[in-house]
Chain A
Amino acid sequence: MAASETSNGTALRYAFGNVLSFFILLLIGVLAFSIRLFSVIKYESVIHEFDPYFNYRVTQYLTKNGIYDFWNWFDDRTWYPLGRVIGGTVYPGLTLTAGTLYWILNSLNIPLSVETVCVFTAPIFSAFASWATYLLTKEVKGAGAGLTAAVLLAMVPSYISRSVAGSYDNEAVAIFALIFTFFLYIKTLNTGSLFYATLNAIAYFYMVCSWGGYTFIINLIPMHVLLCIVTGRYSSRLYIAYAPLVVLGTLLASLVPVVGFNAVLTSEHFGSFLVFIIIHVVALVYYIKGILSPKMFKVAVTLVLSIGLVVCCAVIAVLVALVASSPTKGWSGRSLSLLDPTYASKYIPIIASVSEHQPPTWPSYFMDINVLAFLVPAGIIACFSPLSDASSFVVLYIVTSVYFSGVMVRLMLVLAPAACIMSGIALSASFDVFTRSIKFQLPGVKGNSQVDAGDTSSEGVVAQNEVAKTDKNEEALKERPSKKNRKKEKEHVEKPSVKAQTKKRLLVLPFEASIIAILLLILLGAFYVVHSVWAAAEAYSAPSIVLTSYSHDGLHVFDDFREAYSWLSHNTEVDDKVASWWDYGYQTTAMANRTVIVDNNTWNNTHIATVGTAMSSPEKAAWEIFDSLDVKYVLVVFGGLVGYPSDDINKFLWMVRIGGGVFPHIKEPDYLRDGQYRIDSQATPTMLNCLMYKLSYYRFVETDGKAFDRVRRTEIGKKHFKLTHFEEVFTTHHWMVRIYKLKPQKNRIRGKAKKSRSKASSTTSTKRGETQRKNPWH
Chain B
Amino acid sequence: MSPTHSLPLLLLLISLLLISTSTGSSDSDRVSELQSLQSRSKTGVIHLDDHSVSRYLTSTKTPRPYYLLIFFDATQLHDKSELQLKTLHSEFSLLAQSFVANNPDPSPSSPNLFFCDIEFKESQQSFALFGVNALPHIRLVAPHQSPKQSEQMDQGDFSRLAESMADFIQAKTKLNVGPIHRPPFLSTKQVAFIVLATLVWIPFAIKKIVKGETLLHDPKLWLSGSVFIYFFSVSGAMHNIIRKMPMFLADRNDPNKLIFFYQGSGMQLGAEGFAVGFLYTIVGLLLAFVTHLLVKVRNLNVQRFVMIVALFVSFWAVKKVVYLDNWKTGYGIHGFWPSGWK
Contact = CB atoms under 8 A, between A and B. Distances in A.
Pairs of residues from A and B, 4 with the lowest C-beta to C-beta distance, nearest first? A377-B284, A381-B288, A406-B233, A406-B238
A406 B296 CA distance: 36
A114 interface: no
Contacts, number: 197
A451 B300 CA distance: 8
A373 B234 contact: yes
Contact of A509 (B265, B284, B285, B294): B294
Interface of A: 230-232, 301, 305, 309, 341-342, 345, 358-367, 371, 373-382, 384-385, 387, 392, 395, 398-399, 402-403, 405-407, 426, 429-430, 432-434, 437, 451-452, 506-510, 512-514, 516-517, 520, 524, 527, 530-531, 533-534, 536-538
A385 B226 contact: no
Contacts of B291: 378, 382, 429-430, 432-434
Contacts of B315: 520
Interface in B133-165: none
Contacts of B210: 301
B307 interface: yes
Given A363-B325, A380-B230, A407 B284 contact: no
Contact of B236 (A305, A309, A406): A406
Contacts of B314: 374, 520
Contacts of A365: 234, 236, 280
A511 B328 CA distance: 39
B239 interface: yes
Contacts of B329: 363, 367
A536 B209 CA distance: 49
Contacts of A366: 321, 325
Given A359-B242, A378-B283, A398-B226, 4 more contacts: A359-B238, A382-B292, A451-B300, A513-B304
Contact of A377 (B203, B243, B288, B296): B288
Given A395-B222, A426-B284, A513 B311 contact: yes
Given A361-B266, A399-B229, A451-B300, A509 B307 contact: yes
B219 A533 contact: no
Contact of B311 (A373, A451, A516, A534): A516
B281 interface: yes
Contacts of B298: 451-452, 506
Contacts of B193: none
Contacts of A231: 216-217
Interface stretch (B40-48, B51-59, B104-112, B330-338): B330-338
A433 B291 CA distance: 6
Given A361-B267, A379-B284, A402-B230, A517 B237 contact: no
Interface in B188-205: 202-203
B288 A376 contact: no
| A contacts with B: majority SS | helix
A514 B334 CA distance: 28
Given A361-B265, A430-B290, A510-B304, A395 B280 contact: no
A381 B292 contact: yes
A587 B291 CA distance: 53
A338 to B, nearest CB: 10
Interface in B104-134: none
B285 A378 contact: yes
Contacts of A402: 229-230, 233-234
Nearest to B154: A669
B227 A380 contact: yes
A536 B206 CA distance: 52
A395 B241 contact: no
Contacts of B266: 361
Nearest to B230: A402
Contacts of A395: 222, 226
A341 B238 contact: yes
Contacts of B97: none
User: Which of B227, B233, B265, B285: most chain A CB closer than 10 A?
Assistant: B233
Given A376-B230, A520-B314, A361 B273 contact: yes
24 contacts: A232-B209, A359-B236, A359-B242, A360-B236, A361-B273, A362-B235, A362-B277, A363-B328, A367-B329, A373-B234, A374-B321, A377-B287, A378-B287, A382-B291, A395-B222, A402-B233, A407-B242, A426-B287, A429-B291, A430-B290, A430-B291, A506-B298, A514-B307, A530-B335
Contact of B336 (A230, A384, A508, A533): A533
Contacts of B295: 433, 437, 507-509
A533 B333 CA distance: 11
Contacts of A374: 280, 283-284, 314, 317-318, 321
A362 B333 contact: no
Most chain B C-beta atoms within 10 Å of own C-beta, residue among A363, A364, A398, A506: A363
B303 interface: yes
B223 interface: yes
Contacts of B96: none
Nearest to A550: B339
Contacts of A537: 336
A341 B241 contact: yes
Contacts of B294: 509
Contacts of A378: 283-285, 287-288, 291
Contacts of B212: 232
B268 interface: yes
A309 B325 CA distance: 54
A123 to B, nearest CB: 17
A499 to B, nearest CB: 13
A523 to B, nearest CB: 9
A377 B230 contact: yes
A204 B336 CA distance: 38
Contacts of B206: 305
B232 interface: yes
A361 B276 CA distance: 10
B238 to A, nearest CB: 4
A341 B307 contact: no
Contacts of A434: 291
Nearest to B237: A406
A430 B287 contact: yes
Interface in B245-299: 265-268, 272-273, 276-277, 280-281, 283-285, 287-288, 290-292, 294-296, 298
Contacts of A524: 318
B308 interface: yes
Contacts of A506: 296, 298
B333 A530 contact: yes
B335 A534 contact: yes
A381 B222 CA distance: 10
Contacts of A309: 202
A738 B223 CA distance: 59
Contacts of A359: 236, 238-239, 242-243
A406 B233 CA distance: 5
A387 B219 contact: yes
Contacts of A380: 223, 226-227, 230, 284, 288
A670 to B, nearest CB: 15
A426 B273 CA distance: 24
B307 A510 contact: yes
Nearest to B231: A377
A36 B283 CA distance: 30
B303 A507 contact: no
- Give the interface centre of A360, A381, A512 by most chain B CB atoms within 10 Å: A381
A591 B281 CA distance: 48
A309 B202 CA distance: 9
A55 to B, nearest CB: 28
Contacts of A531: 333
A527 B292 CA distance: 25
Nearest to B159: A349
Contacts of A527: 333
Contacts of A232: 209, 212, 217
Interface string B52-89: 00000000000000000000000000000000000000
Contacts of A345: 242
